[in-house]
Structure 1
Amino acid sequence: MRKIKYSNLLLLGVFIYISFHLVISLISKNIEVATLENEKFEAKIKTKGLIIREEHIVKSNSKGSLDLLVEEGERIKKSQEVAKVYRNNISSNIDNDIEALNTEIDKLKNGESNISKSEIIKLNKDIDNISNKVQSGLLYNSYSVVSENKDNLNSLIDERNRLLNNDIDSKRLETKEKQKEILNKNLEKNVSNLSSEISGIVSFKFDGNEDKYSYDKIDNLTKDDINKAENKFTVANEKGDAVNENEPVIRVINNYSTYVALYVNDKEAKNFEQDKSIILRFNDQNTEANVFKMYKDGENNVIILKITNQNIAIYDTRVEEFDIIYKQVEGLKIAKSAIDVVDDKQGVYVVDEESQKVNFVELDGIVYENDDYVFVDYYTNNINGINSVDLYDRIILKPNSINKNMRIE
């Protein structure tokens, strides 16, 4: 009986041992692990941004008909003439009329009037032919030929001079110059020339907030200003439209000075600092900017970003939804659920691929963390000889007292 009891106990012990290892094996197979890989990450917030520019509004200085001299989107220089306003029913064709008179006057002065032009052409040909005969006579000492054609040549030259200076053309020239003088006086008296005070990009659209959201008021913007701003740009005038005095006709935008105002809470504000470089993304387009100003607005923080990319084309937009990318990192992405603290050191449990045991490895080179993850710059660690987690390490995602002390299959 005693031998039978000992045998049963031995069998029970073997059974318990095998069962324990089977359970341990099953547990080890079901422990959550993750293989560390290099990942890129953008820390960002999505928010509404108010766009602020240096803008100059060209206004009509009188009532009349508008003639635009530039195109939408055209880049102009400072003091460049951009438009004209014609008063008192003066037509914009007056410029063309003056130009046509200039052409006629030049022709009359050069002997190319309609009256004498054909005759002068014929006379020039005859003069050339007789000149050739005279030269040939001189060459071959045929003085009779020279004498015969000399008088005829002089007669033709006198006739040409008479036509070039005839009274008819002189009268016509005098009339045309008087007409030009009258038109120039009308032009000077009834036409206003409009020019821009700054260089920049031309736009014919306005929203009436050019003064409110200007650079010189950038320190006074509030959360309410940003929230209430809307895109309400409309075309003010087109070529030939009637305009009134002080009415806007052209908006000129300095595309080298563009700012975006936004607001964030105190927690988000910790991600920004003076002169920090950030990325603005909108309409799948990235543009560089930096933190120009930061100031408090009650419980919020107003941040002014200055766009440093001069090619950004948001001239006819007052507000836009932006992704504000305040940090771009690359490294090993580690879930915070995998992190444990041992002897005041943060680390994770890494599986030794040979022994299948786990080892606690301190995290070093953390370049960014949020509520859920940390990122470790393993590349810099390797260069500097710092022993920490490495690429393709397997770590336990949810360490506890059991899985930290068992082999991981």
Structure 2
Amino acid sequence: MSQEERKRKRKIKKRWRFFWISLIFIFLFFRSVPSLFATAFKTVLPDKYIIEDKIETEAIIIRRESLYKADGEGTIEIYVDHGDRVAVGTKVAKITLLDDTSTLKQELEEIENKIEVLTKTKLDSEGIKKDEEKLKENIGNIIGDIQTSINQNDYERAEILKDKLSMYDGKQKDIGRDDTLISQSLENLNEKRDKVKKQIISNTENYFSKESGIVSFKIDGYEEIYSISHKDDYKYSDFKEIVNNQRIVSNNDTIKTDEPVFKIIDNFQWYMIVKIENMKDISSYEEGDPILLTGEEVEGELKGYIERISDEKDKGLIVVRFNTDFHNYFDKRGLDINIIKFKYDGYRIPKKAILEKDEINGVYIKEISGIIRFRPIEILDEDDEFAYISKGDNNYNINIKGSDTPVRTVREFDEILLNTISIKEGMIIN
């Protein structure tokens, strides 16, 4: 084979090789075209979403709380569980006192001194009883004289004797009342003395509930600072940051004298004081109105009633009353909350799908026929990724700038185009 024939064959092979390579590239290109178009025309449906007009703020819970403090230092034994509801007279805890009973002995000495004083007073009152007998005799004589005066028609003398009788009768009642009070006081003091003597002997102190309610062993130190008795006095300046320094009293803990042991909380009615940074935000609210609260620390939606609105210039607070859901909040104090002013049923859509046309915000949607249409939208709220838009009226219409009549907005099953580049209204896509 000549050299020229070999060159010719090599050229033919190169051409065939180029042909096949080109064919492969063309094939791959056409395979990729549908995916390119799919990306360009990718759509999403609007996502149903509840849009809230809310005020983010803070609240402090106030309750009717009765603190029970230790009468001496010792070790505690608990008889009920945290969160239990107890009746009046329920034994909640017992403190076994340390060896030092000096406090109890001092209390016993004070009681005995009081008993001594009252006993002397009672002896004196017994002496007065002799006067009481004389009073009775005098009263009897006066009654007889009054009857005689009436029989003799001496009504003037009878009237004077009547006044004298009233005076003697008053003295008699005072003597009897004083004697009754002294006897009752002595009886109570004797009972208390017996109780203290038994405590010194047994070296224990029992604690019974004096009211019904929920028992809590979580002591946060704010029980007397944020008290229900002051709910009508709190102002914005009284709203302090809540520091989480709860102390939980447990079995066998050592308790010091005057240290809180537990508290009993009224679970029928409780309150929040809610901080308001700008009073204009709650201008639509009045005392007595219902109010809806939510938040990460709130269980679902919490409904209460505004009992008081307090303002200091442009800031203030509101006192909100509740009578439900107490079990979710009985051991909480400070909360981050949202005041829900209004709620809307709307849609959530990706922000990247939104464009502006003739100074009107909107999106492109693909109709069933494949025709691209522009739909104006009303943005109610937005975040970094999504916009929250109105559903419009019952006919999915909204009011837009420059139009005297409502126009159609996005509906639930409209396919919204995500990529708005090179898209025009009226285009037809599959």
**What is the TM-score normalised by the length of structure 1?**
0.49
